[in-house]
Amino acid sequence: RGVRGAMLVAGDDGLVVAEQLMEGIKGSAVAALAASLAGRLRRAMEAAGVGASVFWHLQADHGTLLVVPAASGILVVAVAEPDVNIGLVRLELLRAAEAIG
């Protein structure tokens, strides 16, 4: 409940592999944002020596972007309402990333 869409995005290039989005969500723009942030975050975390990211929660004025990088370089992305149950979505995203990893 509260999830407006989900997609699989190829690592650095932002290519949408699969998507299920409600009307009004700009899938290609969300995919490009997620891929761009993934590359930058990966480099910054490596430089800081803290290891790889596991889960991101980006909250904006008009919704929330939840991302779990998968082992295969694919990002599992959910676009959600601002009041979504983050914990539940996080668990489901982690399970999905493990399944496709």
Tens of pLDDT along the chain (101 residues)? 899 999 999 877 889 989 999 998 999 999 999 999 988 998 999 999 999 889 999 988 888 999 998 877 778 888 888 888 999 999 999 998 888 87
The backbone region for 3, taken as left when phi is positive above 0, alpha when psi lies in -120 to 50, beta otherwise, is beta
pLDDT value at residue 46 = 93
pLDDT value at residue 88 = 93
What is the per-residue DSSP string for 28-64? HHHHHHHHHHHHHHHHHHHHHT------EEEEETTEE
pLDDT value at residue 7 = 92
What is the distance between the alpha carbons of residues 30 and 99, in angstroms, rounded to a whole number?
22
